Amino acid sequence: MLTTFFIVLPIFALIFVGFLCRRTDILGPNSTRELNRFVVYLALPALLFDIMAHTTWVALYQPRFIAAFTLGCFIIFALTIALRLRGGRHLADVSIDGLNASYANTGFIGLPLSIIIFGRGSLTLTTISAIITVCVLFAVAIVLIEIGLQTEAHPVRLARKVGLSLVKNPLLVSPVLGALWTASGVHLPGSAETFFKLLGDAASPCALVALGLFLGEKRRTETVEPPVRGDLSGGLMLVGLKLIVQPVLAWILATQVFHLTPAVTHLTVVLSALPTGTGPFMLAEFYRREARVTANAILISTILSLVTVSGYLAWVS
């Protein structure tokens, strides 16, 4: 329990720093959007390129683990979209909701937690889960958001508009370029590696501070109170799907369908049980969608994951 707490504590600290800076006006009203644009256009693309440029295809070949983890993510993602569409929400918003319920914080929490609990031998599988979450799941959500935001009805013109939007999206272009670089067999020059690592390392703290800035925005009480109640109930549903349904589904897939070893099964379940990462929040801000549901999902799931993840680890130990 204490191990998980001390891993998550710095995340809360960074969110609180952003919240405090906005509440005290150290950072102004445009800081959330501008910091988020820095993450989306510079820091996160550098991180994604660096991950893919240093991942060999041999290391990535873990078919049963990939199938169990990926199916768990996408089943919850699709289920959430179906449930939220029934409520009349926009496709762009329900796509972000789908991420809220399925986008595990494999980078900020998963990597350090897996090293401490499962040892450095688990890093390959944890990295694979991060690639699936940050690249594949993220890409599908972006495609759906772009489709939802296009107003052109003709299928050909709609496909062209969506395709152009995706080609211009740095969050999709950067991992593709990284994979192509890996396939070329050319090593990155030392100076280029330093550049990408310095810029990529800024993605995590800046995203968390941006989340704190958003939560610290001063809103008028009369315009905020009614939406907050609905947002909180919607956020709680997404948190339940993320922290309970997804890890249970991962356990069923790992043990009953793909017959993973006990060690890999436990790692799969823990990675699936991680709280919602900051990726959905970055997309909500980037596409100028309402981000309060996402902010609630991230904060509540991170707090409750102290209990759920620690409880599972105590149960299997």
pTM: 0.79
- 139 or 220: whose pLDDT is higher? 139
- 278 or 233: whose pLDDT is higher? 278
Cα(101)–Cα(78) distance, integer angstroms = 10
Supply the pLDDT for residue 151. 64
**pLDDT for 163-196, tens place per residue?**
777 777 787 788 889 888 988 888 899 999 999 9
**Structure tokens, 129:** 């889960």
The domain segmentation of the chain, as residue ranges, is: 2-215+227-311
Written out in words, the top-level CATH class of the domain with range 2-215+227-311 is mainly alpha
Secondary structure class of 86 (helix, strand, coil): coil
Cα(150)–Cα(237) distance, integer angstroms = 28
**pLDDT for 112-168, tens place per residue?**
788 888 887 888 898 889 888 988 898 889 889 888 887 655 677 767 776 777 777
Cα(132)–Cα(129) distance, integer angstroms = 5
